[in-house]
Every structure is written in C-alpha cells, then in structure tokens.
C-alpha cells in the first residue's frame, strides 16, 4: 500500500467479504445447507460471531463510519475524538 492508497484487489476482497458475510447472517439458505453448525452447542454461535466480525472489518476497511467501533480502533487519536460535554 503506497501513499495510503488501497489496491483494487484488496477492495474487491473487502466487498466480497462483506457480501458473503451479509448473506450468511441473513440466513438466505433457511438452514437447509448449513444446519449442522447451528445444531452444535458452541459452533452455532461461533460462526455468527465470526461473520459479524468479518462484516464489521470489511465495512471499516471500505471506509464506512462505525461510531461504536471508533473507541476500539488503534488509529483513534485524542484530536480525532469528539469533545466531551
């Protein structure tokens, strides 16, 4: 990544990751194909947690403002934070 520019391939990967994780979380297959992970006690929750994290990471990479994640970002410096009342 030169001069802060993102490559076409990494942007396409972020878009694909966001699209795939959105489809997974919307459960468009209605439990027909991926019923096994949801029936296992721990694995059923881990896949949703993974794809939620993937979706938020892809959206953040693409430049969408996620205010509730701004506190957790390492790039957040004191001068970027909104002033407290």
Strands (E), 1-85: none
CB 64 within 8 A of CB 30: no
Q: How far apart are the first and last CA of the chain?
A: 38
Q: Break the chain into its structural domains and give their ranges.
A: 8-70
Q: Which tokens sit at 19? A: 């699209």
pLDDT in tens, 48-68: 889 999 999 999 888 887 777
Q: What angle do CA 37, 39, 43 make, to 5 degrees?
A: 45
Q: How many CA atoms lie within 13 A of 8 on its CB side?
A: 0
pLDDT in tens, 4-35: 677 889 999 999 999 999 988 887 766 666 66
pLDDT-derived band at 1 (thresholds 50, 70, 90) equals very low
């Amino acid at each position: 990544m030169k001069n802060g520019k993102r490559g076409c391939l990494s942007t396409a990967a972020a878009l694909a990751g966001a699209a795939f994780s959105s489809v997974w979380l919307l459960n468009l297959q209605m439990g027909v194909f991926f019923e096994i992970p949801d029936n296992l006690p721990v694995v059923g929750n881990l896949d949703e947690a993974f794809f939620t994290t993937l979706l938020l990471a892809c959206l953040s990479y693409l430049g969408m403002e996620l205010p509730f994640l701004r506190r957790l970002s390492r790039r957040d410096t004191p001068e970027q934070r909104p002033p407290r009342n």
